Amino acid sequence: MIDFSLLTDREPIMIHLKYFFSFFIIFFIVGCTESPNDTSAIEESPAIDTDSPEYAAIVFRQALLQVIAYKSGSVRNMADGEIAIDEEKFAKDANDLDAAVNMLVDGFIEGSSRDSYPNSFASPDIWSNWDDFLEKANNLKTATAEVNQLAMTGGFVAAQTAAQELGSNCGACHRPYRIRND
């Protein structure tokens, strides 16, 4: 004989189990969803101290190098005949470029290489070859001072050749001391 009362007795238990598993699934879904406060991904990469003098120096020099790139680009493009000659603009950009280059070394303080700050592309070799790095910075400084001087005294025509030759100083320092992105 089959006892049907057993089946009906089990029904309430099945309902309880259904609720139990629903809760389980909800907790599982919530657990898998990344909350905005989840910092585990950030904690895995080496922490960058954004309050440090080194971090401030990196932000400064990267911004300054953008200024240098913009102003030297303008001066060089005019010298190469890619944009129209504008004496006033040439003289101003040559002057701005020279002033910006004057600050370049200020941004390279000790302990601010890519080894400690992954947001920087500065090689640690800069500080182990400091005199050579300084020489490369000074070569650019000499070149921008010359362009500026010639622009002030003889105008665009006098400064054109020196302006065309500026660019070699960028690569001369980037090759040994700037870490490539790839």
Give the shortest CB-157-to-ligand HEC separation in angstroms: 22
Give the shortest CB-22-to-ligand HEC separation in angstroms: 52
x/- contact string, 41-60, with ligand HEC (CB under 6 A)? -----------------x--
- In sequence order, the β-bridge partners of residue 122 are 178
Tokens found for residue 119:
């947001």
Please choose, from the candidates 110, 78, 112, 98, the residue with its C-alpha nearest in 3D space to the C-alpha of residue 140.
Answer: 98
x/- contact string, 130-149, with ligand HEC (CB under 6 A)? ---x--xx--x---------
Q: Which residues contact 147 (CB under 8 A, 6 or more apart)?
A: 75, 94, 97, 98, 159, 162, 163, 166
Q: Which residues contact 1 (CB under 8 A, 6 or more apart)?
A: none
Of residues 38 and 110, the one with the C-beta less far from ligand HEC:
110
- Count of residues interacting with ligand HEC (CB under 6 A): 22
Of residues 156 and 163, the one with the C-beta less far from ligand HEC:
163
Query: What is the C-alpha to C-alpha distance for residues 28 and 70, in angstroms, rounded to an integer?
Result: 53
Tokens found for residue 5:
């009362």
Of residues 10 and 175, the one with the C-beta less far from ligand HEC:
175
x/- contact string, 56-85, with ligand HEC (CB under 6 A)? --x--xx--xx-xx--x-------------
Q: Does 92 bind ligand HEC (CB under 6 A)?
A: no
Helical spans, DSSP H, in the chain = 4-32, 40-44, 53-79, 87-101, 125-128, 130-164, 168-177
Q: Which residues bind ligand HEC (CB under 6 A)?
A: 58, 61-62, 65-66, 68-69, 72, 120-122, 133, 136-137, 140, 166, 169-170, 173-174, 177-178
